[in-house]
């Protein structure tokens, strides 16, 4: 017994080990299955809660179908060929050193070959299925494709073939190619392992069955290559070989016939491989394969190169003219700019003083947006934050509202919650108390209140019932800064609504009453969401009461992207009050990179500008390559209960029609927009679409092949004058275009000639028009109207403007230049720029941007004023006529209008010299010299003030600026010396 016990213990231990391993494996499988189930089921619960469950289930079934189809195809075909190769193994293998080595591998593999093969095939099928499942949009779009009703000019196929059919056929061909290639590799491996193929020894290196098997597989590969050559012909519609995108002269006259010839040669080569089944040796397949390779090099490579070098290059324009014309037409159609024709503007800018004064008065009546949404976000934060757990976005948004029977530009933002105050965080507070933001804050865009602060239309907490913009549900449960998830609406649950000094505890509470959200008052759902968010409190907390719901996936952009995954969304959702409800409005784009002959552009590069590069609230687009774009959907998300609506906007777009067939009932027809009174009034032309179109129009406003080939008249989007190296963003503003009697809420931008700083054209679109109309005002080629960068520089060098700004710089503030607005004005161009002052030191003032000055320039005249009226008066209020921009032969002539007095000019010169001396001493750290320079600055300032007072007593015109140059140096926000 003493010897049996250890043996029994060892057997017992071995049995336990054998039992533990399967149990652990089973537990691991169950855990993975539960995690997968949790992810799928919680996603489905969310889709059900917002009423879009069919979107998720359609995607899911498409993914599953592609996963199983591609995975099983790959595993079955490769596995079948492995079985065939094994069955065809030779009964006798010649004795050799090679076979002796392989025998050891066979001894190891043979007992487990089914398990090894099954594991490898399962992994191969899993990888293939996972890869192809992600291509469900290509699959579903192909099944539901909608004709464009237009044909390409080369192959005369409907555009839908290139957008929907061609990508799917390439996908299918790619899967079959991969299957055949892997089958060849697997078969070669099995044949070699079991002796059907040999590298050493006398006689044939391949057995007859192995040679026949591999001949069939390689023949199938070459046959697929023939089909690929044939389909590649249609790919020439996207060729980049020529001057522009699309089939070029060389493609059509050399590469197109070459593809056809190669397809025929590949068919012959495939037939030779098939014939080789009954023959010994590899001569026929070798000849065929060699023929295919040589043909591919000579016919597919060398011949087109010779045509390009010796026929096209010597006379490129003549050869490519037809294909450039195709590209121009297709590109303008694909980006929706084919109806735009630049209008001649600015040939004779008005110079009559009375007309200009009248025009400036009408301009003030229209309302010019002076508040810059990219600057005043910090001002809103300081004045309307209320408590430190609220946040405003940066930048803010621009909309328009009808107030006192007048439609005005309005700067708007939502006061969103950022979580419990620092030092007071807990799970209950973060997830069940601080659940939502509160309030819609808006300010007049064209006016300011006392002290340079925004003149608010709606403000403070609680929302006033008498506010000019009525808000019935000010709570923000769904916003850009909402928490990842919140538990709301439970019986007796108190959610912080807003700080209220009149209430007990200084806070008012509310409870979510919306219909959206997923119930979380059952143990099963608590378990699921505790797993999803990896938070045990969701399962264990007793604070979750009956009727509680969990809100998650709450960002408006994420919500719409989930419900319409086929859309590309604009980077800047914006809030609007419609019938008392706060709605997020989002623009959705249908895009494609398959439109034939259309120029491709990077969506990310085309939409980048100062705002996207410096502000986190505006999402940057991915660097997807597109050559077709439509603003096909307008989406809304209710900020209180998360209700989502998708409205068809472009009802002629075949791409949106295709996806409406895929996800039936998810996109409402365009007519449904008018069922929500007032909603259409807040739609605006989307920025990202506009940015892409302006990039296209920078080249494709030229519609003649000759000038296009030569690059004549190409434009550029200018740099932002306030941010070197970054593109100037487009601006929303009220605008009266030539020939229009009433101002329109427009999105605007400008162009400069490539390599030059003057203005080339002005682009604007009426955001409320349906369909929108883009207008481009093109200035004469010999015009010398300065572009934004030169205008900004002229403000910095103009003595009169600098005299107005200098006191602000001396007071320890930092100047922040707002958006430089460009407006067509009196047959010329008017520039308007707000200037904000922000305290940079501890002077007791408010450290946020305050509007202090407005800069204006028209022609060669610039002025600054405390208000727009003052600045316009400085430019147009004099008795002298305004001097228009000089032509090249007139530069250097005296400017019109009255000049500064000699005393004022001397004072400004002394002031600039003193400032230079101050900054030089500051760089050296010479405080004595700084003090002396400061005395000179004060003396020059006093002299300038005296000269201005003397001039004010006389009927003189506003000062004329000095020629454009670099901004004059001024003191920075460093501490001011005393003395």
Q: What is the DSSP string of 88-142?
A: T--S-----HHHHHHHHHHHHHGGGHHHHHHHHHHHHHHHHHHHHHTTHHHHHHH
| Contact in structure between 819 and 611 (CB atoms under 8 Å) | no
Please give the Cα distance from 459 to 461 (Å, whole number). Answer: 7
The confidence score (pLDDT) of residue 958 equals 38
Mean pLDDT of all residues in 971-977: 38
The confidence score (pLDDT) of residue 824 equals 94
3-state secondary structure of 49: helix
Query: Which has the closest alpha carbon to 185: 969, 43, 33, 177?
Result: 177
Residue 18 CB coordination number (10 Å): 9
DSSP for 932-954, please give it: HHHHHHHHHHHHHHHHHHHHHTS
DSSP for 236-272, please give it: GGG--SSSSSS--HHIIIIIHHHHHHHHHHHHHHHHH
The confidence score (pLDDT) of residue 93 equals 63
| Contact in structure between 75 and 83 (CB atoms under 8 Å) | no
Task: Report the greatest alpha carbon distance in the chain.
Answer: 129
Side-chain-side CA neighbours of 533 within 13 Å: the count stands at 22
Mean pLDDT of all residues in 830-841: 87
pLDDT range class, residue 12, cuts 50, 70, 90: very low
Those residues whose C-beta lies under 8 Å from the C-beta of residue 203, and which sit 6 or more positions away, are 94
The confidence score (pLDDT) of residue 662 equals 96
Q: Which residue has the higher pLDDT, 62 or 16?
A: 62
Please give the Cα distance from 376 to 356 (Å, whole number). Answer: 31
pLDDT range class, residue 843, cuts 50, 70, 90: very low
Please give the Cα distance from 63 to 138 (Å, whole number). Answer: 11
The confidence score (pLDDT) of residue 143 equals 96
Evaluate if residue 30 carries a pLDDT over 70. yes
Instruction: State how far Cα 762 lies from the chain centre.
Output: 23
Residue 427 CB coordination number (10 Å): 15
Residue 85 CB coordination number (10 Å): 26
Please give the Cα distance from 809 to 852 (Å, whole number). Answer: 11
Query: Which has the closest alpha carbon to 819: 452, 450, 408, 395?
Result: 395
In percent, the amount of the chain with pLDDT more than 90 equals 57
Those residues whose C-beta lies under 8 Å from the C-beta of residue 521, and which sit 6 or more positions away, are 490, 544, 545, 546, 547, 548
Those residues whose C-beta lies under 8 Å from the C-beta of residue 122, and which sit 6 or more positions away, are 75
Angle at 149 between CA 144 and CA 150, to 5 degrees: 120
Range scoring the smallest mean pLDDT among 170-179, 342-351, 473-482, 579-588: 342-351
pLDDT tens for 591-635 read: 999 999 999 999 999 999 999 888 877 888 888 999 999 999 999
The confidence score (pLDDT) of residue 889 equals 36
The confidence score (pLDDT) of residue 101 equals 64
Please give the Cα distance from 845 to 312 (Å, whole number). Answer: 70
| Contact in structure between 495 and 476 (CB atoms under 8 Å) | no
Q: Which of 26-40, 93-107, 652-666 has the highest mean pLDDT?
A: 652-666
3-state secondary structure of 707: helix
pLDDT tens for 372-413 read: 999 999 999 999 988 888 999 988 999 999 998 888 999 999
Evaluate if residue 2 carries a pLDDT over 80. no
Mean pLDDT of all residues in 832-853: 79
Evaluate if residue 956 carries a pLDDT over 60. no
Sort strands 397-403 and 406-414 into parallel, antiparallel or unpaired. antiparallel
Q: Which residue has the higher pLDDT, 909 or 344?
A: 344
pLDDT range class, residue 210, cuts 50, 70, 90: confident
DSSP for 399-450, please give it: EEEEETTEEEEEEEEE-EE--SPTT---HHIIIIIS--EE-EEEEEEEEE-G
Mean pLDDT of all residues in 934-953: 70
| Contact in structure between 815 and 836 (CB atoms under 8 Å) | yes
3-state secondary structure of 878: coil
DSSP 862: E
Q: What's the Rg (C-alpha) of the chain? A: 36
What is the rounded average pLDDT for all residues in the chain?
86
Mean pLDDT of all residues in 686-692: 96
Sort strands 437-438 and 475-476 into parallel, antiparallel or unpaired. antiparallel
Mean pLDDT of all residues in 862-867: 92
| Contact in structure between 492 and 603 (CB atoms under 8 Å) | no
Range scoring the smallest mean pLDDT among 144-158, 525-539, 731-745, 921-935: 921-935
pLDDT tens for 52-91 read: 999 999 999 999 999 999 999 999 999 999 999 988 888 7
Sort strands 813-817 and 390-391 into parallel, antiparallel or unpaired. unpaired
The confidence score (pLDDT) of residue 846 equals 63
pLDDT tens for 466-503 read: 889 999 999 999 999 999 999 998 888 889 998 887 77
Beta bridge partners of 731: 748
Residue 751 CB coordination number (10 Å): 24
pLDDT range class, residue 976, cuts 50, 70, 90: very low
The confidence score (pLDDT) of residue 825 equals 92
Please give the Cα distance from 869 to 436 (Å, whole number). Answer: 42
| Dihedrals phi, psi of 470, to nearest 5 degrees | -80, 130
Sort strands 813-817 and 821-825 into parallel, antiparallel or unpaired. unpaired
| Contact in structure between 437 and 389 (CB atoms under 8 Å) | no
Burial of 329 (0-12, 13-18, 19+ CB in 10 A): middle
Query: Which has the closest alpha carbon to 740: 221, 292, 343?
Result: 343
The confidence score (pLDDT) of residue 917 equals 75
Query: Which has the closest alpha carbon to 118: 68, 76, 70?
Result: 76
Please give the Cα distance from 371 to 743 (Å, whole number). Answer: 18
Query: Which has the closest alpha carbon to 650: 589, 607, 695?
Result: 589
Evaluate if residue 146 carries a pLDDT over 80. yes
Cα distance between the two ends of the chain: 108
Q: Which residue has the higher pLDDT, 16 or 30?
A: 30
The confidence score (pLDDT) of residue 841 equals 57
Q: Which residue has the higher pLDDT, 868 or 879?
A: 868
In percent, the amount of the chain with pLDDT more than 70 equals 88
Please give the Cα distance from 380 to 396 (Å, whole number). Answer: 9
Evaluate if residue 319 carries a pLDDT over 60. yes
pLDDT range class, residue 15, cuts 50, 70, 90: low
pLDDT tens for 714-730 read: 999 999 988 888 999 99
Evaluate if residue 362 carries a pLDDT over 50. yes
Please give the Cα distance from 677 to 580 (Å, whole number). Answer: 11
Predicted model pTM? 0.85
3-state secondary structure of 505: helix
pLDDT range class, residue 202, cuts 50, 70, 90: low
Please give the Cα distance from 565 to 288 (Å, whole number). Answer: 47
Query: Which has the closest alpha carbon to 648: 634, 665, 661?
Result: 634
367 φψ region: left (φ > 0), alpha (ψ -120 to 50), beta (else)? left
3-state secondary structure of 810: helix
Please give the Cα distance from 589 to 335 (Å, whole number). Answer: 11
**Long-range contacts of the stretch 454-460 (C-beta < 8 A, 24+):** 454/371, 454/376, 454/379, 454/380, 454/383, 454/411, 456/383, 456/384, 457/401, 457/403, 457/410, 459/383, 459/384, 460/384, 460/386
């Amino acid at each position: 017994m003493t010897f049996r016990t250890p043996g029994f213990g060892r057997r017992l231990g071995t049995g336990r080990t054998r039992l533990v391993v399967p149990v652990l494996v089973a537990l691991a499988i169950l855990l993975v299955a539960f995690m997968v189930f949790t992810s799928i089921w919680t996603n489905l619960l969310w889709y059900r809660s917002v009423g879009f469950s069919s979107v998720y289930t359609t995607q899911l079934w498409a993914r599953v179908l592609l996963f199983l189809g591609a995975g099983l195809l790959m595993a079955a075909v490769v596995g079948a060929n492995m079985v065939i190769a094994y069955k065809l193994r030779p009964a006798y293998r010649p004795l050799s050193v090679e076979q002796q080595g392989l025998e050891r591998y066979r001894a190891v593999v043979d007992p487990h070959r089914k398990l090894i093969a099954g594991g490898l095939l399962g992994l191969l099928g899993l990888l293939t299925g996972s890869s192809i499942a992600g291509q469900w949009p290509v699959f579903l779009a192909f099944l539901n494709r909608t004709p464009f009703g237009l044909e390409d000019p080369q192959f005369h196929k409907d555009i839908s073939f290139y957008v929907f059919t061609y990508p799917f056929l390439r996908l299918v061909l790619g899967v079959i190619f991969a299957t055949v290639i892997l089958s060849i590799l697997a078969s070669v491996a099995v044949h070699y392992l079991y002796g059907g193929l040999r590298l050493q020894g006398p006689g044939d290196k391949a057995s007859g069955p192995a040679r026949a098997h591999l001949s069939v597989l390689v023949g199938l590969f070459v046959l697929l290559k023939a089909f690929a050559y044939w389909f590649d012909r249609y790919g020439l519609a996207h060729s980049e070989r020529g001057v522009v995108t699309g089939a070029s002269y060389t493609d059509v006259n050399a590469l197109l016939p070459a593809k056809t010839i190669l397809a025929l040669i590949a068919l012959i080569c495939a037939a030779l491989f098939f014939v080789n089944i009954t023959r010994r040796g590899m001569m026929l397949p070798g000849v065929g394969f060699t023929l295919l390779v040589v043909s591919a090099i000579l016919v597919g490579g060398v011949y087109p190169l010779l045509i390009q070098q010796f026929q096209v290059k010597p006379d490129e324009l003549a050869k490519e003219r037809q294909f450039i014309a195709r590209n121009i037409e297709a590109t303008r159609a694909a980006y929706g700019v084919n109806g735009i024709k630049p209008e001649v503007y600015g040939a004779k800018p008005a110079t009559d003083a009375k007309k200009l004064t009248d025009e400036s008065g009408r301009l003030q009546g229209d309302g010019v947006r002076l508040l810059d949404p990219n600057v005043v976000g910090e001002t809103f934060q300081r004045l309307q934050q209320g408590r430190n757990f609220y946040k405003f976005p940066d930048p803010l948004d621009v909309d328009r509202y009808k107030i006192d029977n007048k439609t005005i530009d309005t700067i708007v933002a939502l006061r969103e919650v950022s979580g419990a105050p620092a030092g007071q965080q807990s799970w209950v507070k973060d997830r069940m108390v601080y659940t939502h933001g509160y309030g819609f804050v808006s300010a007049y865009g064209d006016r300011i209140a006392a002290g340079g602060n925004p003149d608010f239309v709606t403000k403070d907490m609680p929302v006033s019932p008498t506010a000019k913009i009525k808000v019935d549900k000010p709570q923000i449960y769904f916003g850009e800064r909402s928490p990842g998830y919140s538990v709301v609406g439970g019986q007796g649950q108190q959610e912080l609504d807003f700080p209220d000094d009149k209430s007990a505890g200084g806070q008012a509470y509310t409870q979510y009453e919306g219909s959206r959200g997923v119930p979380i008052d059952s143990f099963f759902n608590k378990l699921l969401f505790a797993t999803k968010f990896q938070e045990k409190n969701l399962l264990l907390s007793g604070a979750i009461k009956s009727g509680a719901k969990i809100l998650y996936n709450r960002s408006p952009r994420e919500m719409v992207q989930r419900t319409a995954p086929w859309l590309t969304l604009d980077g800047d959702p914006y809030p609007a009050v419609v019938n008392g409800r706060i709605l997020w409005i989002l623009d959705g784009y249908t895009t494609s990179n398959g439109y034939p002959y259309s120029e491709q552009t990077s969506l990310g590069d085309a939409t980048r500008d100062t705002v996207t590069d410096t502000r986190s609230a505006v999402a940057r687009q991915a660097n997807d390559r597109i050559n077709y774009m439509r603003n096909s959907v307008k989406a809304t998300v209710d900020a209180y209960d998360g209700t989502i609506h998708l409205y068809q906007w472009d009802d002629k777009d075949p791409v949106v029609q295709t996806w409406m067939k895929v996800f039936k009932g998810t996109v409402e027809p365009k007519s449904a927009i008018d069922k929500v009174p007032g909603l259409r009034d807040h739609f605006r032309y989307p920025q990202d679409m506009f940015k892409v179109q302006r990039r296209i129009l920078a080249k494709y406003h030229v519609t003649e092949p000759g000038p296009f080939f030569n690059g004549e008249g190409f434009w550029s989007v200018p740099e932002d004058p306030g941010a070197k190296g970054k593109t100037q963003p487009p601006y929303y503003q009220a605008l009266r275009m030539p020939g229009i009697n009433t101002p329109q809420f427009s999105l605007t931008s400008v162009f400069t000639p490539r390599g030059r700083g003057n203005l080339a054209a002005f682009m604007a679109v009426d955001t409320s028009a349906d369909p929108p109309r883009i207008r481009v005002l093109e200035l004469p080629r010999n015009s010398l109207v300065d572009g934004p960068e030169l205008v900004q520089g002229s403000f910095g060098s103009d003595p009169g403007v600098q005299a107005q700004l200098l006191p602000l710089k001396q007071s320890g503030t930092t100047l922040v230049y707002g958006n430089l607005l460009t407006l067509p004005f009196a047959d010329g161009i008017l520039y308007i720029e707000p200037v904000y002052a922000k305290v940079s030191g501890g002077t007791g003032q408010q450290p946020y941007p305050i509007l202090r000055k407005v800069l204006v320039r028209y022609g060669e005249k610039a002025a600054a004023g405390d208000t727009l009226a003052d600045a316009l008066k400085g430019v147009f209020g004099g008795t002298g006529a305004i001097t228009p921009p000089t032509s090249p032969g007139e530069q250097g002539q005296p400017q019109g209008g009255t000049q500064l007095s000699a005393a004022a000019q001397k004072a400004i010169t002394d002031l600039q010299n003193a400032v230079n001396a101050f900054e030089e001493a500051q760089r050296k750290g010479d405080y004595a010299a700084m003090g002396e320079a400061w005395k000179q600055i004060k003396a020059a300032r006093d002299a300038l003030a005296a000269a201005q007072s003397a001039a004010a007593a006389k009927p003189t015109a506003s000062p004329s600026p000095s020629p454009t140059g670099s901004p004059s140096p001024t003191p920075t926000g460093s501490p001011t010396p005393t003395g």
